[in-house]
Amino acid sequence: DAKTTQPTSMDCAEGRAANLPCNHSTISGNEYVYWYRQIHSQGPQYIIHGLKNNETNEMASLIITEDRKSSTLILPHATLRDTAVYYCIVRVRDSGYALNFGKGTSLLVTP
């Protein structure tokens, strides 16, 4: 699986958009970008995934650059409950279920 690089921590004001970047410059053509988050003391939660097109669901939007070397997870209106560690994972979709979580980005949403 391709290696990812994320900032260690970020802050965001409540109600504003939180934009979490992820660099995956060695991504292969058949690798997807997945995002999970882990709220303190809970199990990780799946957020969204994509291959090359931008994706949106009820939780977030995923913007993948045209060269696929980086992506951004967008939480459009961050709330205090979005405070969590966010993990960007790149993997081949049918390669089994072993996820390499890395260190992730600790997002703090402030009032």
Partner 1 sequence: KAGVTQTPRYLIKTRGQQVTLSCSPISGHRSVSWYQQTPGQGLQFLFEYFSETQRNKGNFPGRFSGRQFSNSRSEMNVSTLELGDSALYLCASSGTSGSLYEQYFGPGTRLTVT
Cβ(109)–Cβ(78) under 8 Å? yes
Q: How far is the CB of 24 from partner 1 (least distance, A)?
A: 17
- Number of residues lying near partner 1 (CB under 8 A): 20
User: CA 102, CA 45: separation in Å to the nearest integer?
Assistant: 15
- Closer CB to partner 1, residue 42 or residue 53? 42
Q: What is the DSSP letter of 5?
A: B
Interface segment toward partner 1; rule CB under 8 A; list 17-25, 60-68, 69-77, 98-106: 98-106
User: CA 4, CA 100: separation in Å to the nearest integer?
Assistant: 10
User: CA 32, CA 27: separation in Å to the nearest integer?
Assistant: 8
Q: How far is the CB of 84 from partner 1 (least distance, A)?
A: 13
- Closer CB to partner 1, residue 45 or residue 110? 45
Task: Give the residue among 110, 66, 103, 76 at the shortest CA–CA distance from 88.
Answer: 103
- Closer CB to partner 1, residue 19 or residue 38? 38
45 binds partner 1 (CB under 8 A): yes
Cβ(82)–Cβ(39) under 8 Å? no
Interface segment toward partner 1; rule CB under 8 A; list 11-19, 45-53, 63-71, 73-81: 45-53
